[in-house]
Structure 1
Amino acid sequence: MLSRSSFIKLLDVVIISPAFNQNVLPAAGFAVRFRYNEKNYMVPKPGSGYFRRKVHYPEEYTLKPIPYTNLAGRDPVTGRVVVGTLGGGIKHPLLWVDYTRSVPEGSTTLTEKVLEVFPEPTRTAHVALVGANNACRYIIATENMKSGDLITTSNELSKIAVRPKEGDAYPVGSLSINTVVCCVEAYPGSGGIFARAAGSSCTILRKIGQRVIIVNGTKKKREFSIEQTCMAVVGRVSNKEHGSTPIGSPNNLRALGYRPRSGLWQRKTGKHGRKIRRPPPTKEMMHPSLLPKKAERLHLTSEKFPYHWT
C-alpha cells in the first residue's frame, strides 16, 4: 500500500502530466479522503446558487403568476440540505418583473403609463404595472411612483446632462453627478443589477472618460465603474420602511419561510472596538465576453479522477 507522501507525488503526476493514463491507479483499498487545494484545479461541488425556490419561466413574457418549486434550502441537483434555516412559509404568487428598461427598435424614447403600484410578497420592493403600445409589463417601482404617472425611457446618450423626473430611465452618461439612481445595469443590456431591493439606491460619483463611477448606498460604500451607456432608473427603490419594520414574533418569521436558527451566533456589539479597514478599490464592470480569460482549470470529475479508488 502506498504511503501518503508517495500518493501525493502520484497525484501530481496524474493531474499535471498531459499524458494521463487511467490505468495507473493506487493500490487497492486506498480512498481519497482529502481535497487537493491548488489554484489550477478544483474538486467539483454538489451545486451552488439560490436554494429558496426554482422558478419555471415560460418561453414568452406573461403577466400571469409563474409556477415555481420551493427548494426549502436543498440543492436542486443532489437534494441535500444546504441551508438549514430556509423552508416552509406561505406560498405566494410570483410575478415576472422586467429589469430591462429598453426602447423598441427604430426609436430612441418610450413613454409608459403607470397603471398600478402594489406590494409583492416574494420581493421586498413594490412592483408597478406599466403599459404602452398595447403591451404591459411589471417593473420595480420607485419611492414616489403612483398610478397615472408617465415615465420615459430613453437610450440616447446626450452631451449635456438631462433633467429627468423620478421613474425615468436614461444612460448614466446622460445624468449629472450626484444623481440618485436605482436598477443600474452592470454592462449594456444586462438589465438592472445594482440597487433592486427595497429602499436601496446608487449615486453617480464621477465620470472618467467613457466610464462612470457609481457608489452604492449601503454602509460599505462600494464603488463600481460601468460604461456610460448603461441604463439606470432615476430615484430610489420603493418601500424604504422595509428594513426598519419589526417582524413581530417568531411565528411571523416562519410565515416568511425562515426556520429557527441554533441561537449560537450573535452579532458583534462593538464593545471591544472595531477594525478600521480601508474601502475596497473600484470594481470595473464589463460584459463577460470582454473579461480576460482565466487560466484553464482541471476539474476532478468522476470519469477522469474518481473520488474513491479501489
Structure 2
Amino acid sequence: MIFKHKKLCFFKKKNSGRSNGKISVRHKGNSHKKLYRKIDFLRNKFDIPAKISRFDYDPNRNIELALLKYNDGEYKYIIRTNNMFINKNIISSLKKSNFSSGNSTLLKYLQIGTTLNCIEKYPNSGAIFSRSSGTNSELIYKDNKNAIIKLSSLKKKKISLNCKATIGKIFNRIKKKMYKAGQNRWKGIRPTVRGVAMNPVDHPLGGGEGKTSGGRHPCSPFGKKSKGYKSKK
C-alpha cells in the first residue's frame, strides 16, 4: 500500500515524451497513473518544531519522504535523511540550533566537514544540490561571505553563507530487481530496439543481409554520431 497525504498531492499532466505532439524523447509512454508530492525545499517555517509522522513512498523519485507535522497543525513533506525515526523532532532555524540529522540552518553556523544535503544555490531560492538517493555534500571552506561545498560528483561549488542546508546524508533506498518486463512498462519505459535490427527506412544502421553490424559509425536514428563523438564544439 502506498501512503500519501492527499492535501500535499496533485496530478501532473503526462506528455509521454512528446513536445507539440511530436516525440522528442523516445521509449516513453503508457505509465501507471501517479500523484506528484509537494516537497518543502524552502524549509521556511522557522523555529517551529515538527514531529516526523511517518515515511512515505514517492513514485517520482528514488528517495523516501518524511511527513512532518508542525506544532501549528500544518503538514509538509521533506526528503528523508539517515538517522531519522518516527516521532523525532525536526526544526528549521536561522539561528544556531541543534545540529541533528534533518535539521535545516544557514551555512554560516555549520562547522567545516559537516555532511549536508538539500543545499540552496542562492539564499531563499529552494534546495537544488544533493537531493538524490544516497548523496551528500561536504562543507570544506568558509570565509566572511562565501562557503565552498564538495558535491558527490567531487565538483566544488562556491555559494553564499546565507544559503540554507539540511544536515545529514540522504537515506539510500534499495533499488529492487525487476522480475519481468512489465514492471518497466508500469514506469512508462517502452521497449528499446537496436538500430541494426531495424529496416533501412527506420534507422541509418538498418538493413543488410543477415546480421550485419551497420557498416558505418554508430549513430542515432537522426544520423548524429554516438559512441565517443564530441558533440560540443
What interval of TM-score do these two structures reach, taking the shorter chain for normalisation?
0.7 to 0.9
* Partner SS, residue 22 of structure 2: coil
Aligned mates of 1:247, 1:199 — CA distance in 2? 20
Aligned mates of 1:262, 1:93 — CA distance in 2? 30
The aligned residue for residue 51 of structure 2 is 113
Structure 2 counterpart of 1:153, from 88, 92, 95: 92
Q: Structure 1, residues 175-218: CA drift from partner, whole Å, max 9, x if none? A: 11111111100111111101111111111111133111011113
Offset, 1:241:
2.6
Say yes or no: does 1:235 pair with 2:163.
no
The aligned residue for residue 296 of structure 1 is none
Offset, 1:222:
1.1
The aligned residue for residue 144 of structure 1 is 83
* Partner SS, residue 254 of structure 1: helix
Say yes or no: does 1:89 pair with 2:20.
no
Q: Structure 1, residues 254-273: CA drift from partner, whole Å, max 9, x if none? A: 221111223468xxxxxxxx
The aligned residue for residue 203 of structure 1 is 138
Aligned mates of 1:68, 1:241 — CA distance in 2? 26
The 3 A distance-change label for structure 1 pair 179 and 263 is farther
* Partner SS, residue 193 of structure 1: strand
Say yes or no: does 1:253 pair with 2:180.
no
Give structure 1 regions of 4+ aligned residues with deviation exceeding 6 angstroms.
none
Aligned mates of 2:138, 2:30 — CA distance in 1? 37
Query: 1:201 touches 1:216 (CA, 8 Å); kept in 2?
Result: yes
Structure 2 counterpart of 1:65, from 1, 6, 9: 9
Query: 2:11 touches 2:34 (CA, 8 Å); kept in 1?
Result: no
Aligned mates of 2:136, 2:165 — CA distance in 1? 10
Question: Can you give the 5+ residue segments of structure 1 that lack an aligned partner in the other structure?
Answer: 1-61, 266-310
Higher relative contact order, structure no. (Cα contacts within 8 Å, ≥ 6 residues apart) = 1
Percent identity for Structure 1 against Structure 2: 25
- Give, as a single letter, the amino acid of the residue that structure 2 aligns with 1:92: K
RMSD: 2.1
Aligned mates of 1:203, 1:233 — CA distance in 2? 11
The 3 A distance-change label for structure 1 pair 202 and 263 is farther
What TM-score do you get using the length of structure 2 for normalisation?
Answer: 0.75
Question: Can you give the 5+ residue segments of structure 2 that lack an aligned partner in the other structure?
Answer: 1-5, 196-217, 219-233
- Alignment map for 1:1-310 (pairs within 5 Å): 63-75=7-19, 78-104=20-46, 109-132=47-70, 133-156=72-95, 164-218=99-153, 221-242=154-175, 245-263=176-194
- Give, as a single letter, the amino acid of the residue that structure 1 aligns with 2:49: T
Aligned length: 191
Higher-Rg structure is: 1
Offset, 1:98:
1.3
Aligned mates of 2:180, 2:151 — CA distance in 1? 31
Query: 2:122 touches 2:159 (CA, 8 Å); kept in 1?
Result: yes
Aligned mates of 2:58, 2:26 — CA distance in 1? 25
Query: 1:89 touches 1:258 (CA, 8 Å); kept in 2?
Result: yes
Query: 1:63 touches 1:96 (CA, 8 Å); kept in 2?
Result: no
Aligned mates of 1:153, 1:65 — CA distance in 2? 23
What TM-score do you get using the length of structure 1 for normalisation?
Answer: 0.57
Aligned mates of 2:140, 2:193 — CA distance in 1? 42
